[in-house]
């Protein structure tokens, strides 16, 4: 291989791992790539939509540094408690495909039944923090798991740190609310052993990040909300009962016979007036008091 060919390969490799935030032209090209990714329906919700373009840019940067597909990063990088994390199965697959080791294997040991003391701090409402020490005993069927692989460069068997259920109890992972260490201990102990192996021997894969189940185990429970008591109400003064006002009783009155109103005479017609004049003569002048002579 000539010196010129070596330089060309070096330039290509450097371009492959260039930071997408280091150059304005690279940044513009990365934006165009990410726009097509966020418009896809098969990417996780954390990267879907125009508003999630910055998340896609970070995923593209991680994929560029790890030399893997951006889709692989998007599918396996989860946000737990506001922090980016890897899925445990992704870490195992990256170790197996790194080319440095043989496929990862696990060694299990049965350590028998144990009673383990779990020391923790309870919430102190007076101080507003967890500073009240407490201890409880946890009964477990203890086991141990060690991840190991063969180093391809030396042929040596490389072992990771040993993880036990007793460790999970003492660290507080086992007793957390909704913990899977109680329901599927062998799977959880294998995932934790793989994460420790990767952090120790291939940190370039971990990129300084934890696995999703680690972050869930390490997260501190939220402080309980203390309800503020409502101010006591002053006792209301009892009002004197209102006096009942007796309504006046209805007085019965005897009916009084009223005189009928005088009838109003209707006007007479001309013929009736003539008849009335004969019966009751009308005098225009007052009669004179004088003696009358009557013929016998």
Q: pLDDT tens across 230-265, in order?
A: 555 666 666 656 666 566 555 555 555 556 666 555
d(CA 113, CA 100): 38
State which residues form the domain around 33. Answer: 9-77
DSSP label at 151? B
User: Do residues 185 and 102 share a domain?
Assistant: yes
d(CA 199, CA 58): 21
User: Do residues 66 and 95 share a domain?
Assistant: no
DSSP bridge pairs for 173: none
Is 0.75 topped by the overall pTM? Answer: no
13: nearest Cα among 21, 5, 25: 5
User: Do residues 179 and 98 share a domain?
Assistant: yes
Q: How many CA atoms lie within 13 A of 168 on its CB side?
A: 35
d(CA 57, CA 85): 16
DSSP label at 92? H
User: Do residues 64 and 117 share a domain?
Assistant: no
C-alpha 276, offset from chain centre: 110
Give domain status of residue 255, yes or no.
no
Of 53, 77, 101, which closes a domain?
77
pLDDT of residue 296: 46
144: nearest Cα among 164, 160, 161, 159: 164
User: Do residues 120 and 32 share a domain?
Assistant: no
Residue the block writes with tokens 């009916």: 255
pLDDT of residue 252: 56
DSSP label at 86? E
Give domain status of residue 227, yes or no.
no
Decide if 208 contacts 193 (C-beta within 8 A). no
Give domain status of residue 252, yes or no.
no
Number of domains in the chain: 2
pLDDT of residue 246: 61
User: Do residues 62 and 148 share a domain?
Assistant: no
Token digits of residue 207: 């990129």
User: Do residues 67 and 99 share a domain?
Assistant: no
pLDDT of residue 189: 96
Of 221, 254, 275, which closes a domain?
221
pLDDT of residue 56: 92
Which residues of the chain fall short of a pLDDT of 50? 5-17, 223-227, 296
């Amino acid at each position: 291989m000539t010196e010129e060919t070596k330089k060309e390969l070096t330039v290509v490799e450097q371009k492959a791992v260039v930071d997408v935030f280091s150059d304005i032209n690279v940044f513009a090209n990365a934006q165009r790539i990410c726009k097509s990714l966020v418009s896809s329906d098969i990417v996780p919700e954390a990267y879907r939509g125009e508003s999630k373009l910055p998340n896609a840019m970070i995923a593209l940067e991680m994929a560029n540094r790890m030399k893997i597909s951006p889709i692989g990063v998007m599918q396996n990088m989860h946000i737990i408690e506001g922090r980016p994390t890897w899925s445990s199965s992704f870490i195992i697959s990256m170790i197996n495909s790194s080319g440095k080791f043989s496929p990862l294997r696990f060694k299990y040991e049965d350590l028998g039944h144990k009673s383990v003391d779990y020391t923790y701090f309870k919430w102190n409402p007076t101080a507003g923090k967890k500073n009240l020490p407490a201890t409880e005993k946890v009964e477990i069927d203890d086991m141990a798991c060690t991840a190991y692989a063969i180093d391809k460069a030396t042929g040596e068997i490389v072992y990771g740190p040993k993880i036990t259920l007793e460790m999970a109890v003492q660290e507080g992972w086992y007793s957390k609310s909704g913990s899977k260490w109680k329901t599927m201990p062998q799977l959880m102990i294998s995932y934790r052993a793989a994460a420790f192996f990767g952090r120790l021997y291939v940190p370039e894969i971990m990129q300084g990040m934890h696995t999703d189940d680690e972050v869930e185990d390490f997260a501190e429970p939220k402080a309980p909300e203390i309800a503020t008591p409502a101010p006591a109400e002053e006792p209301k003064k009892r009002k004197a009962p209102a006096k009942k006002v007796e309504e006046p009783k209805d007085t019965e009155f005897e009916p009084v016979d009223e005189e009928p109103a005088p009838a109003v005479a209707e006007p007479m017609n001309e013929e009736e007036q003539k008849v009335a004049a004969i019966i009751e003569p009308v005098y225009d002048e007052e009669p004179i008091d004088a003696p009358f002579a009557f013929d016998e």
